[in-house]
Structure 1
């Protein structure tokens, strides 16, 4: 039985993956929790066949040494999020700095604005501002381009947040949350 690790993106929780797990009940799923709305669960299971990273979860997986050699599928994912001289299509750093400035004083407002842009709701629970801030800084500062390429990059042409950074062929619709909007298509697209 295939063993697949799922890593959610910034501002989300493991529940993001429930529609995919229902659409593809065959594999043995392992879901990390980056700890934005409850205790973090970051223990990596052994003998993984595949890692699926959503948005920041893709960058997280690219930078995790223990996952070297495990095939990676990028779902609305990126190896670099913020703009740079050689990556002008990235999000302007000033946008991330503005979010960082507001996060301490009004974490709920920052999360509501972020999720409103995506057409989703923040997960339930008290936001862990320190974890959200740390990973927002990673999104602003880290660059994993050149580390390795995903075996498959999936996205949507109407994603308001992330261009197809890995050059995959996007679906025309689905936004930034393909695990919620296209779980059946996503399940069929995963490597067998």
Structure 2
């Protein structure tokens, strides 16, 4: 029987990163049953097991994917540096201009390492990448998802509790974009940027532990 206070976690990372995003946070969740997807941006795709009951934890694009793809076993969502929609639209002016993503897509075909490296630096990641492992087709598909994806209907129809974790100094998903996506529900990390699982892993882990403990007393979604 699954301990309700230690429900397994299913983790989905963001664009331009991989499953190692969760390594620092895992160190603060020692012994926890954690399953991490890898989107394959660096050539290694992993579809993590979905236990019978679990909490989905998503970062950035992985947060939107978690919101859209929450299966029957999902008992709660932790969305970190996330959004319900990323690109701007007529009814979502706070989003990032589509031309920014279009420009990234155009440059990606010629020099994927430059595009990914520049994005990661903007996020706050200074570590070098292995350009030889980059999968341009998978990266392009992710950018198209950022451009066209819209999980606002999934957010409005959510059936499980959600914890929103955001950084008030996030240069990619700004506080305004967080608010436009989720209203006033976010828990803010003072001084936090776009890579909270990497830069503030202990804080993220403590928020997850508290959230899952709260879920232990909640009934299953109808």
Q: TM-score range by the shorter chain?
A: over 0.9
Let me know the Cα RMSD of the aligned residues: 1.7
In the alignment, structure 1 residue 146 sits paired with structure 2 residue 146: no
Structure 1 stretch 103-112 or stretch 123-132: which is displaced more? 123-132
| Structure with the largest fraction of helix | 2
Write the distance in 1 (CA, Å) between the matches of 2:188 and 2:40: 29
Q: Kindly indicate whether the alpha-carbon contact (under 8 Å) linking 1:19 and 1:183 is maintained by their aligned counterparts in 2.
A: yes
1:116 Cα deviation from its structure 2 partner: 1.3
Write the distance in 2 (CA, Å) between the matches of 1:67 and 1:18: 27
1:71 Cα deviation from its structure 2 partner: 1.2
Unaligned segments of structure 2, at least 5 residues? 1-5, 214-222
Write the distance in 2 (CA, Å) between the matches of 1:141 and 1:10: 14
1:10 Cα deviation from its structure 2 partner: 0.4
Unaligned segments of structure 1, at least 5 residues? none
Q: Kindly indicate whether the alpha-carbon contact (under 8 Å) linking 1:35 and 1:41 is maintained by their aligned counterparts in 2.
A: yes
In the alignment, structure 1 residue 162 sits paired with structure 2 residue 173: yes
1:142 Cα deviation from its structure 2 partner: 1.2
1:133-172, Cα deviation, whole Å (9 max, x unpaired): 0011011001010213561000101000013232313212
- Deviation >4 Å, runs of 4+: none
Residue 70 of structure 1 aligns to a residue in which SS? strand
Residue 50 of structure 2 aligns to a residue in which SS? coil
Partner in structure 1 of residue 100 of structure 2: 95
Structure 1 residues 9 and 161: alpha-carbon distance in aligned structure 2, compared to 1, 3 A threshold? same
Q: Trace 1:70-149 onto structure 2 (pairs within 5 A).
A: 70-120=75-125, 121=127, 123-124=129-130, 126-148=133-155, 149=158
In the alignment, structure 1 residue 178 sits paired with structure 2 residue 209: no
Write the distance in 1 (CA, Å) between the matches of 2:68 and 2:139: 17
Structure 1 residues 130 and 68: alpha-carbon distance in aligned structure 2, compared to 1, 3 A threshold? farther
Structure number, greater radius of gyration: 2
Q: Kindly indicate whether the alpha-carbon contact (under 8 Å) linking 1:5 and 1:32 is maintained by their aligned counterparts in 2.
A: yes
Q: Kindly indicate whether the alpha-carbon contact (under 8 Å) linking 2:10 and 2:48 is maintained by their aligned counterparts in 1.
A: no
Partner in structure 2 of residue 45 of structure 1: 50
1:69 Cα deviation from its structure 2 partner: 4.3
Q: Kindly indicate whether the alpha-carbon contact (under 8 Å) linking 2:117 and 2:129 is maintained by their aligned counterparts in 1.
A: no
| Structure with the largest fraction of strand | 2
Q: Kindly indicate whether the alpha-carbon contact (under 8 Å) linking 1:7 and 1:31 is maintained by their aligned counterparts in 2.
A: yes
Write the distance in 2 (CA, Å) between the matches of 1:68 and 1:82: 29
Q: 2:33 aligns with which of 25, 28, 34?
A: 28
